[in-house]
Chain A
Amino acid sequence: MSAGTLKNLLKDFKKFNNKNLIVGFDNNDDASVYKISDDVAVIESVDFFPPIVDDPYIYGQIAVANSISDIYAMGGTPTTALNILCIKSDINEDVIREILKGGFNKAYEAEITIAGGHTINGDELLYGLSVSGIVNPKKILSNSSAKVGDKLILTKKLGIGIITTALKGGLVSKTLEDEICNQMSTLNKYSFDIAKKYKINSLTDVTGFSLLGHSYEMAKGSKVCINIYSNNLIYFNDAINFSDMGLIPAGNKRNKEFTDGNVKINDKITQSIIDICYSPETSGGLLISIDKNDATNCINEMKKNKIDASIVGEVVEYNNTYVNLI
């Protein structure tokens, strides 16, 4: 469901006003944050989706890496999680075991404990986690506190939505499939552990709402404008070819509608690059709004650690649009 549709659905509901809930629905942030004391707050997030690759073990790894990411995106440390699993009747036990094994191994790598879960039967296989984490309330990194002058770092390549659409059509080579699986199953822990040594002003992760959708949310919440520089974008090159072939996921249209009227795109940008920027990402990278004086050191440290990171944009004063794709 698009962010816009969801917002509309929820707008009239009564919400119990809890003074300790410091991050809720208001800015479509990555997770909720509930303050326990002056030094400790609990972060909660949930995510699950159907298989996007055939290998059940890798699917389990991707689903868990994706679910945990929201905790890093709030500036927190993940602690425990609960499995959420919907099983189709025709799926055999070995497949379920592999999915869960992938999930448990990824959680182990992230140093969090899967402490339980819930399983149901349904028409579609679904897997993910409800994840909890902790953060010092003074160190929460919301998606709505970017500052004019900040640089924007993206820590994974774009184009996953387009390539997984091509994958469904059997058009993706094994090498490329391995590459995207490797990226999707990589924890954002590694880029966050580097980024947190520097002055981060705002943070989110790029997932279903695409680079432009998440940039729009960050810009709107922060009352600024975000310039995205197309020449600095990092993406899987094959996403260009697949996009030219019309292998565009339905999510692109929803993301375009969600940001409608708030994203300006330079006439010189090719349609394929625009498609990549609107493409939903699965287990995408962190989008870090970082103090301009720290950006180069942070990106160099990430690159030294083999993270596919790039300075993709910067934060400027609001000027009648929230996002400029230049």
Chain B
Amino acid sequence: MYKVDAKGLSCPEPVILTMNAVKLGHKEISVELSDPVPVENVTRYAKSQGFTVKETKENDITTLLLTK
């Protein structure tokens, strides 16, 4: 599982970090986010690349589990 820590980051950085992970060929990526806007945007990007997205939330941190 490749981990992307995008907590505290605003767009476009979380999408770019996720994009970099995808370009490296990872098929299972966990993305941690603390802002609702990047949650929507990373989900959108991941789905456009054929990933399945599972969202979980604990306290104020959202984790997106991307699998392909």
By a beta-carbon cutoff of 8 Å, the part of chain A in contact with chain B is 165-166, 168-171, 244-250, 253
Could you tell me if A169 and B15 are in contact, using CB atoms closer than 8 angstroms?
yes
Residue in chain A with minimal CB distance to B43: A246
B61 at the interface (CB under 8 A from A): no
22 contacts between A and B (CB under 8 A): A165-B11, A165-B12, A168-B12, A168-B13, A169-B12, A169-B16, A170-B16, A245-B15, A245-B44, A245-B48, A246-B15, A246-B40, A246-B42, A246-B45, A247-B11, A247-B12, A247-B45, A248-B11, A248-B40, A248-B41, A250-B11, A253-B40
Q: Bound complex: CA of A168 vs CA of B12, how far in Å? A: 7
- B33-68 interface code vs A (CB 8 A; 1 in, 0 out): 000110011111110100000000000000000000
Q: What 6 A-B pairs are tightest by C-beta distance, nearest first?
A: A246-B45, A246-B41, A246-B44, A169-B12, A169-B16, A250-B37
The dominant DSSP class at the B interface is: helix
By a beta-carbon cutoff of 8 Å, the part of chain B in contact with chain A is 10-13, 15-16, 19, 36-37, 40-46, 48
Q: Bound complex: CA of A239 vs CA of B48, how far in Å? A: 15
The dominant DSSP class at the A interface is: loop
Could you tell me if A247 and B37 are in contact, using CB atoms closer than 8 angstroms?
no
Residue in chain A with minimal CB distance to B47: A246
The answer, among B10, B15, B43, B46, for a CB contact under 8 Å with A247, is B15
The answer, among B10, B12, B44, for a CB contact under 8 Å with A166, is B12
Give the residues in chain A near B36, CB-CB below 8 Å: 253
Residue in chain B with minimal CB distance to A167: B12
Give the residues in chain B near A170, CB-CB below 8 Å: 16
Q: Bound complex: CA of A34 vs CA of B19, how far in Å? A: 51
Q: Bound complex: CA of A168 vs CA of B11, how far in Å? A: 9
